[in-house]
């Protein structure tokens, strides 16, 4: 069973993703801001993170930058799921190291397909070695 961390300050988005991820057989951890996300990453050691950009206390950009700075999380798959769908934000996401960038509004099926694909490619979280 793979663990997916969903990080978003929108409770409805978190619950929609949680329900679909659990139906797909994944264990789900959640965080509602960037500070909580970093704590959950250390505590839960997820196999994949779905991350919003605009959140209280610490942005998704800051969380992503922190993940990419450390050897144990530098290859942790990250899907950026955000309201920012402009070309500049998407380009920044690729430069900062996201594995997938999905603008909101999103189709749950697309997110689930990308989760499955990234988990398949990564096979094991860097935490599991």
Q: Would you list the domain boundaries of the chain?
A: 3-128
Here the tokens at position 119 are 């988990």
Question: pLDDT at position 123, please?
Answer: 64
Closest among 13, 4, 12, 2 to 81, alpha carbons compared: 13
Residues across the chain: 129
Please report, rounded to a whole number, the percentage of residues in the chain having pLDDT higher than 90. 88
pLDDT in tens, 77-118: 999 999 988 999 999 999 999 999 999 999 999 999 999 999
Here the tokens at position 17 are 């993703």
Q: Which CATH code, of 3.40.50.1000, 1.10.3720.10, 3.40.50.2300, 3.90.1150.10, is assigned to 3-128? A: 3.40.50.2300
DSSP state of 73: T
Question: pLDDT at position 128, please?
Answer: 44
Question: What mean pLDDT comes out for the span 50-65?
Answer: 95
Whether the Cβ atoms of residue 10 and residue 71 lie closer than 8 Å to each other: no
Average model confidence (pLDDT) across the chain: 93
Half-sphere exposure in the Cβ direction for 113 (13 Å, CA): 6
């Amino acid at each position: 069973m793979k663990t997916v961390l969903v990080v978003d300050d929108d409770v409805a988005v978190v619950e929609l993703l949680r329900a679909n991820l659990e139906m797909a057989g994944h264990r789900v951890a959640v965080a509602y801001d960037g500070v909580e996300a970093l704590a959950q990453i250390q505590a839960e050691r997820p196999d994949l993170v779905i991350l919003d950009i605009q959140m209280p206390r610490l942005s998704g950009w800051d969380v992503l930058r922190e993940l990419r700075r450390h050897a144990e999380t530098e290859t942790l798959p990250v899907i950026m799921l955000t309201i920012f769908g402009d070309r500049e934000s998407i380009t920044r996401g690729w430069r900062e190291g996201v594995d997938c960038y999905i603008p909101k509004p999103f189709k749950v099926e697309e997110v689930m397909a990308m989760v499955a694909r990234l988990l398949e490619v990564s096979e094991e979280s860097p935490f599991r070695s």
